[in-house]
Amino acid sequence: MKCAEMIESETPKVSAVAQANNEVRLPMGILGFEQIKDYVLLVNPEEEPFAWLQVKANASLAFVVVDPFLVMPNYQPDIPEADVEFLGLRNTSDALLLNIVTIHGPHRATINLKGPIVINRHTHIGKQIIIANAVDYSVQHPLPVAGSIE
Amino acid sequence: MLILSRKSGESIVIDGRIHVKIVRVEGDVVKVGIGAPVDVPVHRQEVYDEIQRSNRQALTRPRKLSGLPKLAGGTTKAHPLAGRATNTAKKVVLPGK
């Protein structure tokens, strides 16, 4: 499926109705939001590599996420065995990683590299995990935003 | 809070399924081994708190956001669940792989 089919071009992107196959279930929620388990992954091609992980029950709440390997080619998250088992991952290619981005302003954004959301591409079940090598990474690693003075 | 004294090598069992063992004591560092079922998340408190704080800060109300910042430099386009899967997760380290 093409992304363009998921999102009507003239309507606000995040309020677009997503296809069922872009739904993601996080049985343990996101740390701090344990009670919110159902999300929809929305992508607007103009905003890539960012995407929206929107709360399914509340279209006005969303996390901005990004595939970390697109912005941090050297990222090497070590996923604990218990999480691999929980998610039913057999190969690294089964895993989709989305890391939460904090938008601090038009010229500053950071990515959480300690706690990626790992999703099984086949089951669409995911979990925000704490990587075993969290000590090597920051929860607010600056992204190279255009126009940034950093 | 229940406070127990334990020696190195001794354990505590919680709810019949969570085992906490004092592995070693070196000065002011205590090595603790924890055995728990996969549905019981175990985290270092400070890392857990840090991620929770960051998540709270990151949650946005999209309609109020004028737009996402543009990233400097090019990135490859990829979209994961929408069929253009690119197996970008090559560098993920899975135990025993």
- If you average pLDDT over residues A17-24, what whole number do you get? 65
- What is the tens place of the pLDDT at every residue in A71-124? 888 999 999 888 999 999 998 889 999 999 998 887 889 999 999 999 999 999
Residue B81's SS3 state is: coil
| Dist. CA B59–CA A53, nearest whole Å | 10
Rounded to two decimals, the ipTM of the complex is 0.80
Reported as a single tens digit per residue, the pLDDT across B76-86 is 444 444 433 34
Contacting residues of A for B83, CB less than 8 Å apart: 1-2
Domain ranges of chain A: 7-143
Please tell me the predicted confidence (pLDDT) of residue B87: 38
pLDDT in the model for residue B94: 63
Mean pLDDT, rounded, of chain B: 77
- Per-residue pLDDT, B58: 93
Strands A117-120 and B11-14: unpaired
In the block, residue with structure tokens 């205590």: B30
Q: For residues A13 and A47, is the Cβ–Cβ distance under 8 A?
A: yes
User: Mutate which of B40, B68, B91 to test chain A, going by most A C-beta atoms within 10 A?
Assistant: B68
Q: Does A149 touch chain B (CB under 8 A)?
A: no
Residue A49, preceding peptide bond in cis (omega within 30° of 0): yes
* pLDDT given for residue B91 in this prediction: 57
Q: How many CB atoms lie within 10 A of CB A23?
A: 14
- The percentage of residues in chain B with a pLDDT greater than 70, rounded to a whole number, is 66
In tens, the pLDDT along A24-65 reads 999 999 999 999 999 999 888 778 888 899 999 998 899 999
Q: A36, A24 in Cβ contact below 8 A?
A: no
CB atoms B79 and A3 under 8 Å: yes
CATH of A7-143, one of 1.20.120.350, 2.30.290.10, 2.60.120.10, 3.10.25.10: 2.30.290.10
